[in-house]
Structure 1
């Protein structure tokens, strides 16, 4: 786990880093291309702690996660930091006793902004505000997190956690739309989502609900059989109790 320390920083240029999809970096709106994989990894790790210092040891542990670390770790990290400063601007990365800090507002890092917006959802006083905040957070996603950043630590630790937060937020937004009766448009969206996440039973449950409420009972039963067969074949288990209960409810309804 990375150790971070709060630091106050100031940057002359406006540095933006997008991590929720292919790595995208810009300074004052001008795109910055970082080709070396370790530079991209180093920037991603610093961006996840924007405004806070990350120790040299923590940076090295991620950058050389599965490779033999260099003999002089401190000097090697300093070398990569110098190369990042060359690409982003001398004032883009500050240093101190606690380590290095990316000198940008956390709101300029899409992953951090996503989490901040999610934290504001519970304070919403009405469904419309809640849906708007969820929509704003979800709109920040452009694809697989850390795409193009060759880091096992980010791929195995941070990315799954962010994806789960994304899917949970998406399901909250879907629930608001179900409550509002937007069944027709949700059938299309949920059909696409279950194809993209074929073993996420909570999405299939919502698909059965909207199909049933749209009067498409036969299709809902067919979709249940699709997920039941897939789960049995790939996981060797039955669907979860929620899906089984929805299936039973569909069977007891009049055709």
Structure 2
């Protein structure tokens, strides 16, 4: 038996698990041989596609887009109408259905015929969610949310963050991906980073959080929640002067871009730093003798909604 929050013996972390591949109707998923067995699609960074561990180059832009849209709804049928909207946005060709069928045929040639299935009114990527890093990422965060406050929460967050390689859908052109899916995944990523930093600070490991927080604040200087956690982490490490410099940088960006001052929490943290008062965790409330950081509902960002797909029957 395993204790609360412990990973069962022999169970690998989320980012090392063998993808489960969907099979024909009526059969359950089967575990592919080898860590990279079957089809894998990586979209959390530059697109990476492999079959049985061998990279599959997809040089045509529309092929890449079609595969990624199908991958985001793995094991669910995506209608031709929705596919056309995602692939071409408002500039759909006159015979978009025929074009999609041609692209699907080319994907079968590149990947293998078994991976792309034509349904009555759409296409289906015959691979389980474990084959797509973005879906594994979201599942790990959902599991972390369910384990909130338990020892395993940080481990699950770390499993999810390990899958993140860079800007989602890098090199794939689609308004749906760029305007809806990428921002949603990025929000979940940043929220998870913030939560991991909170857990590290509460556990007395503020130094572990500083490097990641500094990098992310540099990339997202107007995300005040990130900056606040960086100030707290630096303060806990005795680096108050550095915290004041970071506040000044963020304040300058916010003033230049928005013409306003930072929010009340950041201003209060700044005043406490100047007065030499230790910074408290944002929203901390006492619980069993230890501070806790309050979070809004959906603390790891929005849950994945399958906007295009419908479950396979």
TM-score with structure 1 length normalisation?
Answer: 0.91
- For residues 93-130 of structure 1, give each alpha carbon's deviation from its aligned partner in whole angstroms, at most 9, with x where no partner exists: 11222411000011110111111111111232754310
Partner of 1:39: 63
Residue 8 of structure 1 deviates from its aligned partner by: 4.3
Give, in angstroms, the shift of residue 208 of structure 1. 0.9
Does 2:152 match 1:97? no
Which one of 95, 101, 107 corresponds to residue 130 of structure 2?
107
Which residue is 1:165 aligned to? 188
Specify the alignment match of 2:197 in structure 1: 174
2: distance between equivalents of 1:9 and 1:25?
Answer: 27
The equivalent of 1:243 in structure 2 is 266
* Cα pair distance change 1:15/1:254, threshold 3 Å: closer
Pair 1:147 & 2:192 matched: no
Which of 209, 217, 220 does residue 194 from structure 1 map onto? 217
Deviation by residue 1:123-152 (Cα, 9 ceiling, x = unmatched): 327543101100000111111000010112
Structure 2 CA distance for aligned equivalents of residues 71 and 192 of structure 1: 46
Q: How many residues in Structure 1 have an aligned counterpart in Structure 2?
A: 248
Q: Is the 8 A contact 2:200 2:208 kept in 1?
A: no
Distance 1:70 1:192 in 2: 42
Aligned CA RMSD, in angstroms, stands at: 2.1
Question: 1:75 and 2:94 equivalent?
Answer: no
Deviations 1:142-180 (A, max 9, x none): 110000101122111110111001101111111101111
Counterpart in the other structure of 2:17: none
Task: Decide which moves more: 203-212 or 157-166.
Answer: 203-212
Q: What is the match of residue 56 of structure 1?
A: 80
Q: Does the residue aligned with 2:151 lie in a helix, a strand or coil?
A: helix
CA distance in 2, matches of 1:59, 1:95: 13
State the alpha-carbon separation in 1 of the partners of residues 148 and 238 from structure 2: 32
What is the aligned partner in structure 1 of residue 40 from structure 2? 16
Gap change, CA 1:96 and 1:228, over 3 Å in 2: same
* CA distance 1:58–1:248, change in 2 (3 Å): same
Which 5+ residue runs of structure 2 have no aligned equivalent?
1-23, 279-313
Is the 1:9–1:94 contact (alpha carbons within 8 Å) kept by the matching residues of 2? no
SS at 1:199 equivalent: coil
Task: Quote the Cα distance in structure 2 between the aligned partners of 1:185 and 1:73.
Answer: 51
Alpha-carbon distance in structure 2 between the residues aligned to 1:204 and 1:74: 47
> Contact (CA 8 Å) 1:127, 1:176: kept in 2 or not?
no
- Does the C-alpha gap of structure 1 residues 86 and 9 become closer, same or farther in structure 2, counting only changes over 3 Å? farther
Of Structure 1 and Structure 2, which has the larger fraction of its residues in helix? 1
Do the aligned residues in 2 keep the contact of 1:21 with 1:144 (CA within 8 Å)? yes
In 2, Cα distance between equivalents of 1:254 and 1:41: 52
1:3 matched residue in structure 2 = none
Q: For residue 115 of structure 1, give the secondary structure of its aligned residue in structure 2.
A: helix
For residues 169 and 97 of structure 1, what CA distance do their matches in structure 2 show? 39
